[in-house]
Structure 1
Amino acid sequence: MGKREIHFCEKCGHPTKREIPEGDTHERDVCPSCGYIAYINPINIVGTVPYLGDKVLLCRRAIEPRLGYWTLPAGHQEVQETTREGAERETEEEAGIHAEIPSAPYILLDIAHADQLHLMFLARMKDESVNPGPETFEARLFSEEEIPWDKLAFNSVEKSLRLFFADLKKGAFGFHYIEKHTPGKFL
């Protein structure tokens, strides 16, 4: 994602300058007029790995980025929303499914180079019915062999699916935490 910068003060509109504020350890965008310091923090992406038996539900994206590619239902967490609430909302918006989502997260992909945290919850579907929203062309269940691996929207989706199917084979779903510092495929 690269270095994100704020060029104008959010409080007074004056141009900012890049510096390390007194008592801080990182460069920030600081307003020389009013002294406001802009803190840019990672983006939380929240979603689910919806499944029914040995199949996973994927959504074909009707929006950019990666229009037409397959993904798990996920998106940006909203303010004043818990990560679980955000995952439920995104799953409802993108897939329109009825699912049971436990309170404990399943996967945390800490993607430092992209300034993102991807927090995924398991979502056990109650039935096969789907009612995708406007961000999704179609949503459907796939077995591991049917997954369109070369048509997945993001590396994080592929990693989440591989973890899910490995856990399914073991018969146990544990928490996964993975750090990624450079662009490219997850190992």
Structure 2
Amino acid sequence: MSFDRTIRHCRQCGHPVAKRLPDDGDTRERDICTVCSTVHYINPLNVVGTVPWWEDRILLCKRNIEPRLGKWTLPAGFMELGETTAQGAARETVEEAGAQFEIEDLFTVMSVPRVGQVHLYYRARLTSDQFDPGHETQEARLFREDEIPWEELAFRTVRETLQRYFADQRAGRFGTHAFDIE
């Protein structure tokens, strides 16, 4: 699948770029500067977040922004430059839920090639059941498995992560799950 994330001008020198094969033997057309020959790679974006848990409940956030305004999600967002995946997941959890927690193990890694993203969720043990959501969140609330608003979840990655979380919880052990969402 190809994406139209065309780069029009070189990030190094500002001159126009053109799509062509690089001189290094690469087999994919790339955006290459017509003046300085800088190759501009277009790579997937990383979405990082947490599965915050308190006893037998999971913290979900009701979105106050598009896409999926008003739908429920796990706290997550785009990873920033200069942070690790765990740091990004923790930052997003603080920004969106205002939660206090201890980050745990990596839980799910999902490749979503259709939108050019990789989603990574960590388990996070909440140290308080009090939340102070940021401006991107209408409400932050704890749910037991039978209370999850499954039809009101914002993203398939959230649904898949929650399903695996509750399956692992029933099994009495948590693993790391890596899979693709087509």
TM-score, length-scaled by structure 1: 0.92
1:163 is matched with 164
Q: Identity percentage over the alignment? A: 49
- Provide Cα deviations, 1:138-183, integer angstroms capped at 9, x if missing partner: 0000111111111111110111111111111111110100123x3x
- Provide Cα deviations, 1:1-50, integer angstroms capped at 9, x if missing partner: 93322122212222211111112122111111221111111111110001
Letter in 1 for 2:54: L
2:40 is matched with 38
1:51-62, aligned counterparts within 5 Å?
Answer: 51-62=53-64
1:119 is matched with 120
- Provide Cα deviations, 1:109-139, integer angstroms capped at 9, x if missing partner: 1112221111100011112111101110100
Counterpart of 1:25 in 2: which secondary structure?
coil
C-alpha distance in structure 2 between counterparts of 1:125 and 1:167, whole Å: 18
Letter in 2 for 1:20: L
1:19-34, aligned counterparts within 5 Å?
Answer: 19-22=20-23, 23-34=25-36
C-alpha distance in structure 2 between counterparts of 1:167 and 1:130, whole Å: 26
Counterpart of 2:27 in 1: which secondary structure?
coil
1:16 is matched with 17
Q: CA deviation at 1:85?
A: 0.6
Which one has a larger percent strand, Structure 1 or Structure 2? 2
Letter in 2 for 1:151: E
1:47 is matched with 49
C-alpha distance in structure 2 between counterparts of 1:48 and 1:162, whole Å: 14
1:85-100, aligned counterparts within 5 Å?
Answer: 85-100=87-102
Give the paired residue count.
180
C-alpha distance in structure 2 between counterparts of 1:50 and 1:141, whole Å: 9
C-alpha distance in structure 1 between counterparts of 2:175 and 2:126, whole Å: 19
Q: RMSD of the alignment, in Å?
A: 1.3
C-alpha distance in structure 2 between counterparts of 1:85 and 1:96, whole Å: 15
1:146 is matched with 147
C-alpha distance in structure 1 between counterparts of 2:113 and 2:162, whole Å: 20
Gapped regions of structure 2 (runs ≥ 5): none
Runs of 4 or more consecutive aligned structure 1 residues displaced over 3 Å after TM superposition: none
